[in-house]
Structure formats: structure tokens, C-alpha cells
Amino acid sequence: MLAGCSTSVNYVGTSSQGVFFKVPKTWDVFDATALKSLGLAVNASANTQAADSGTSYTVYTSLAASSHRVVVKGSLNLFGATPWALANVVSFGPSDQSSMSLEGLNDLLFPLDTWQQDGLSVQQIGPTTLLVKGALRGSRVAFEAETPSGVLAFEQVAFINSPTDKAWDLAVGCSLTCFHAHRRVIDGIVKSFTVTASRS
């Protein structure tokens, strides 16, 4: 769902999952077809299987970027000069529910721990901010990460609910140079991240 609510920003999100964030009006918001072509669309049948087998699965994804140039040869380029914002809502299976911590939220969108174990450099940029909104708890933190496909920098905000069975997260980033050049815009998007679900 996408609704334009002001002259300067677009609201991205969904009321069904209780999640919204704002991006500049000039940004492109990817629709379901575009997400599908990038392999980011929610797969209902796969989710049913995941739920049945007790594993975690993504129930919602949205993507916005300052330009369609974030897609290069049909693939999403997270490492270029085009800032992007990627949001997910994840439903946890029993195992992840039992082991999830505030620190664990860092790995929700990107497997930072795995990258580190593989010898890649993952550096936190700035302090972690603890976030508490009613029954939701979460964190806001930025990383510079060397990945198998390139180096990216991003800021991430994530919340988890009281039963610890659902998480909402948003990462906004691009290449390291781009990240610093667009720090103010990225900060504004991250700050706008709002989760209205399960607050009590």
C-alpha cells in the first residue's frame, strides 16, 4: 500500500501489519510486481509451509529508492550511489522466538553475524539506541558492512513485540560514500519509521 499524504513525502507501509515510514516525494516506491521481479515479494505458499514447520518467515516487504537506478540488470544493487529503504515484517517460529534478543535484531535483515564469521568486516557506526514504545522494544543502529557482493552502509531500526513472535524493521542505506552524502535524508526516513501494531 502506498498513499501520498503531503507534498514533500510519500508514506510507505501497510495498515494490516501496522508499519509505516516516510520517504521523499521524489523517491520511487516499488510495487508488488517490481518486488516480485526482484525476488522480494512475500510468498504466501512458502509462508504457509514455514508456519507449518515452525520456522520464521517474512510477512511483508516494501522497498523505496531515490531512483530506479537501484536496480541494475534486474537485480537490486544495495552497494551503489542510490539510497534505498527496505522494510520487513517477520513472523518468528518457536526457535527464533526463544532465542531472539535486542542484539539479535541487528541480523534481521542482513546476516551480519554470518558475514563476520566468514571473515568479512562489519563495523557499527555510532552507538546503539534502545527504543521502547509500549509493549514494543527495539533498537536503532548503523553499520558499515563488507558483504560477499560489496560494501554497504546502512542504518536500521527494528522493533519486536512482547510475545517476541513478530518483528518490524527498516534499513536505509547505500554505498559508504553515498551513505555519508545522504545522511540527513536517511536519518529522516529512519526517524519516520512507525509501528502501530501490538503496542500494548
Partner 1 sequence: MAPGRALTGRRSRLLGVVAALVLGTALTACSDGHVVSSESQQLYLKVPSTWTVFGEHELSKDGAFGSLFSSAPIFATIALGTKHARPGDAFTPTGYPWAIVVVRPLSATEQSQMSLNGLRDVLFNVDTLQTEGANVESLTTPSLLVKGSLHGTLVAYEVQGSEASSALAYEQETWVNSATNKVWVLMAGCSPSCFQAQQPVISRIVQSFLVTDRGSND
Q: Decide: is 130 part of the binding site for partner 1 (CB under 8 A).
A: yes
Q: Decide: is 127 part of the binding site for partner 1 (CB under 8 A).
A: no
Residue 155 φ/ψ, nearest 5 degrees: -110, 140
Q: Residues 38, 81, 120, 135: which binds partner 1 (CB under 8 A)? A: 135
Name which of 35 and 102 has its Cβ closer to partner 1.
102
Rounded Cα distance between 108 and 135, Å, is 19
Q: Is 190 helix (H, G, I), strand (E, B) or coil?
A: helix
Q: Is 174 helix (H, G, I), strand (E, B) or coil?
A: strand
Q: Decide: is 200 part of the binding site for partner 1 (CB under 8 A).
A: yes
Name which of 43 and 123 has its Cβ closer to partner 1.
123
Q: Decide: is 53 part of the binding site for partner 1 (CB under 8 A).
A: no
29 and 9 in contact (C-beta within 8 Å)? no
Residue 151 φ/ψ, nearest 5 degrees: -105, 135
Q: Is 80 helix (H, G, I), strand (E, B) or coil?
A: coil
Q: Decide: is 191 part of the binding site for partner 1 (CB under 8 A).
A: no
Q: Decide: is 162 part of the binding site for partner 1 (CB under 8 A).
A: yes
Binding string, residues 102-121; x marks residues near partner 1 by CB under 8 A: xxx-----------------
Least distance CB 163 / partner 1 (angstroms): 5
Query: Reduced to 3 DSSP states, what percent helix, strand and coil does the chain have, rounded to the nearest 5?
Result: 25, 40, 30
Residues that bind partner 1 (CB under 8 A): 97-104, 128, 130, 132-137, 162-164, 200
